[in-house]
A = this chain, B = another copy of it.
Amino acid sequence: MPVLLSARLRELGLELPSPAPPIGSYVPVVIEGNLAWISGQIAMLEGRPLHPGLVGAAVDPATARDLARRAALQALGALAAALGNVDRIQRIVRLGVYVAVAPGFDRPHEVANGASDLLRELFGEERRPARASFGVSVLPLGAPVEVEMTAAVG
């Protein structure tokens, strides 16, 4: 008895953004059978990363966490657009959160919770994803957070 994502979004007062155009030669989403791969998302505003910089330096952890949440919403928006119906999203099976870090910042997992917490709100405790997160040197366009998902779809 899967939760209908459209209903949960309404209850939480959330709207999925339109997919951001890829910054290179790839597509936002590939669907094969009952799996979907969603390209790494960075929170964008008017074609530029929101709050570029390294977490622990120009970008504070609370801002980075919010960017992870926004990037996760973008990923779901891209997936919903590709499926044509948000309720075909069954669950996120894998969440990858990559954080561009300044030396000394060792809590990429807390930044990743911005994305994870959103997914828990939307899909419930039972349907939380598996996750990997780590701190990298740099992300496309100098963004502080990138969120990648693999999904099960109906």
Q: Does B134 contact A140, Cβ atoms closer than 8 Å?
A: yes
- Number of identical protomers: 3
Pick the residue among B25, B32, B107, B116 that contacts A140 (CB under 8 A). Answer: B107
- Nearest chain B residue, comparing its CB with the CB of A136: B134
B34 contacts A34, CB within 8 Å? no
The residue on B at minimum CB distance from A31 is: B93
Q: Name the residue on B nearest A23 (C-beta).
A: B109
Report chain B residues within 8 Å CB of A84. Answer: none
Q: Which of A25, A131, A141: most chain B CB closer than 10 A?
A: A25
Q: Are A37 and B150 in contact (CB under 8 A)?
A: yes
Separation in Å of the A120 CB from the closest CB of chain B?
5
Also in contact, A110 and B24, with CB within 8 A (given A38-B130, A134-B138, A138-B135): yes
